[in-house]
Chains A and B, each alone.
Chain A
Amino acid sequence: MATLIGKTFSQATRSFLKASNWSRLASSLVIAEHNGSDVVPLTYNSIGAAKQLGGDVTVLVAGKDCSNVSKQLAQAEGVSKLLVAQNDIFDGFLAETLTPLILETQKQFNFTHILAGAGAFGKNLIPRLAAKLDVAPISDIIGINGEREFVRTIYAGNAIQTVTSSDPVSLITVRGTAFPPSGPTGGSANIEDAPSVAVSYDLSKFEGQELSISERPELTAAKAVISGGRGMKNGENFELLYNLADKLGAAVGASRAAVDAGYVPNDMQVGQTGKIVAPELYIAVGISGAIQHLAGMKDSKVIVAINKDPDAPIFQVADFGLVEDLFKAVPELTEKL
């Protein structure tokens, strides 16, 4: 193996291998997430994480319709190969149908890492795949220290855990906000058909989606996020936040309290069990700042809190705190910006 490396790889690669003491070069498979027409942005963060592992990055795109998405992903920076599996059976991206496909792909290519974004799609899929391969999956990583060493948060982000894996392949979900996305262009991947598998599965069935339609940027990818909590009092008052959001080109989020009270839909929830965001600017309006909410936003660059209770815990993490009635402060802020 040593002579093979000596002959094949450049001096730089060899010293890199020596420096990091990694046993072999990684080869990663990223499972693309898409909606049939566009790539979900989180996929580019997963490719970004795969690039940090070194070695070749292969992307698998599976679905009922992959044509447009394949075109997009073939151009993604850093992707060397794109495997495409277009089949009606993948409608709805059920973990039950994708798992045999990925197992077959793994059998053929023997990747050292299999990654997906830590959204609902990846969280649903990766553990199912891991159990089939008999490996311990690693959820929601925020850092890569080596080929088998990963960093993640536990206890709602109140502790940071570093783990090393003794499994031959690492199955990982990637926290999008922790890894810079790979560029959407600049690459030219070879496109190949994914290994074919005879999947006929009728134990689960995709029946459809009800997606929240929003003109505003997607919550996890937005540069600015404005979130409302119980202090908003009702759903209509969120209009105040939408007005401010439009002024800033921001996305609108919410605390669990606001979602549970029925002010806004659940996919707007920021927190330990909702979305994790890390924008340039996070404005928390009428949010007390429970541990579970902080878990979803405390890595934001600048945090602003607007709350009339000066003792609200949110002020402990806010860079700028304004103790004032939100119904006065938010319209004023919108007007003056």
Chain B
Amino acid sequence: MASLRALVGCKRVIDYAVKIRVKPDNMGVVTEGIKHSMNPFDEIALEEAVRMKEKKIVSEIVAVSCGPPECQETLRTALAMGADRAIHVEIKGEEYQGLQPLAVSKMLAKLIQNEKVDIAFFGKQAIDDDSNQTGQMVASLLDWPQATFASKIETEGSDTLKVMREIDGGLEHIKVKLPAVVTADLRLNEPRYATLPNIMKAKKKPFSKMSSEELGVDIKPRLQVKSVVDPPVREAGSTVENVDELITKLKDVGVV
């Protein structure tokens, strides 16, 4: 099984710890000068690919990111974490503003075919648009099986993955035949940190750049953003002194 080729989708997003601000024109959120990092779920997806490589199940890991030139930093991180090479599909300016999961999925599906990938890893969702669509759509476009919200992945024989999935009421077990798409849930693993020597080594790893035109994908947005606004603000609450006062207040508003 040591010949599986893996692809990992790595999205550059506003860092999860940043408190975002809505733009004054209500058309988006402020991204200039804001700390960005790799989508946390993509780090988990990448970590899983790297662990499979360490177990000699996977032979090569290709990290891919679609977006502005800054995505190169995200891909360098991926290389430092253990990806073998990176592909940056550069999409700038207005086109990037309108880039949506369907277009990204089409580009990824094309790359997967071009690169003869056997297993594609994605995060279950990006923490910016919160869509939770890309992995499923890539699987659909390729007619591959999908194992979404994976919290445990094992191999069975040379062509099957046993996947434990996180579902609403608990856990679910499925088997998928390769080639397949897997999307990582939080509890799949604990991603490693890139060490300084690996960050240095990552600078020498192969890095290629391409465009959506080269992939032959139309990336025009299908959804038009009409507005982006702040959520309603909750009215300030009060502090109660003790449990008795809490109970009185809860009774006053009629919830107990």
Which residues of A have CB within 8 Å of B16?
291-292
A209, A315, A323: most-surrounded residue (chain B CB, <10 A): A209
Q: Is A248 at the interface (CB under 8 A from chain B)? A: yes
Max chain A C-beta neighbours (<10 A), residue from B100, B136, B224, B239? B136
Q: How many A-B residue pairs have CB under 8 A?
A: 254
Q: Is A215 an interface residue (CB 8 A)?
A: no
A137, B101: Cα distance in complex, Å: 9
Contact with B along A294-337 (1 / 0, CB 8 A): 00001001111000000000010111111110000100110011
Q: Decide: A161 and B168 in contact? CB cutoff 8 A.
A: no
Chain A residues closer than 8 Å to B25, beta-carbon distance: none
Contact A267 B167 (CB under 8 A): yes
Q: A154 touching B222 by the CB < 8 A rule? A: no
A144 within 8 A of B: no
Contacts of B2 in A (CB 8 A): none
A236 on interface, CB distance cutoff 8 Å: no
Nearest CB on A from B179, distance (A): 9
Task: Tell me, yes or no, whether B237 is within 8 Å of chain A by CB.
Answer: yes
Residues of chain A from 153 to 193 with CB closer than 8 A to chain B in the complex: 153-167
Write the nearest CB–CB distance from A300 to chain B, whole angstroms: 10
Q: Closest B residue to A40 by CB, please name it.
A: B168
CB distance from A272 to the nearest CB of B (A): 7
| Residues in A whose Cβ lies below 8 Å from that of B169 | 209, 211-212, 267
Q: B110 within 8 Å of A by Cβ?
A: no
Most buried by B among A95, A155, A267: A155
Inter-chain CA distance A281–B167, complex, in Å, is 25
Contact of A208 among B132, B172, B238 (CB under 8 A): B172
Flag if A207 contacts B222 (CB, 8 Å).
no
* A17-25, A78-86, A107-115, A116-124 - interface stretch: A116-124
Q: Which of chain B's residues have a CB closer than 8 A to the CB of A206?
A: 172-174
Q: Does A140 contact B (CB under 8 A)?
A: yes
Residue pair B133, A159 in contact (C-beta under 8 Å): no
Are A333 and B246 in touch, CB under 8 angstroms? Answer: yes
Q: Which residues of B contact A292 (CB under 8 A)?
A: 16
B172 touches A209 (CB 8 A): yes
CB distance A166 to B222 under 8 Å? yes
A6 within 8 A of B: no
Is B22 at the interface (CB under 8 A from chain A)? yes
A156-B130, A209-B172, A315-B239 known; A164 vs B224 contact (CB < 8 Å): yes
As a 0/1 sequence over residues 117 to 160 of chain B, the CB contacts with chain A under 8 angstroms (1 = contact) are 00000001101111111101111110011111101000000000
Q: Which of A45-53, A68-76, A197-205 contacts B (4 or more CB under 8 A)?
A: A197-205
How many whole Å from B169's CB to the nearest CB in chain A? 4
Given contacts A209-B173, A210-B171, A320-B249, list 18 more A-B pairs with CB under 8 A.
A95-B136, A120-B166, A123-B136, A124-B148, A129-B140, A131-B141, A136-B223, A153-B130, A154-B129, A155-B14, A155-B127, A204-B147, A292-B16, A302-B255, A317-B234, A320-B246, A322-B242, A332-B243
CB contact between B175 and one of A131, A156, A205 (< 8 Å): that residue: A205
**Given A158-B231, A159-B229, A248-B256, A139 and B132 contact (CB-CB distance below 8 Å):** yes
Partner of A136, one of B127, B168, B222, B237: B222
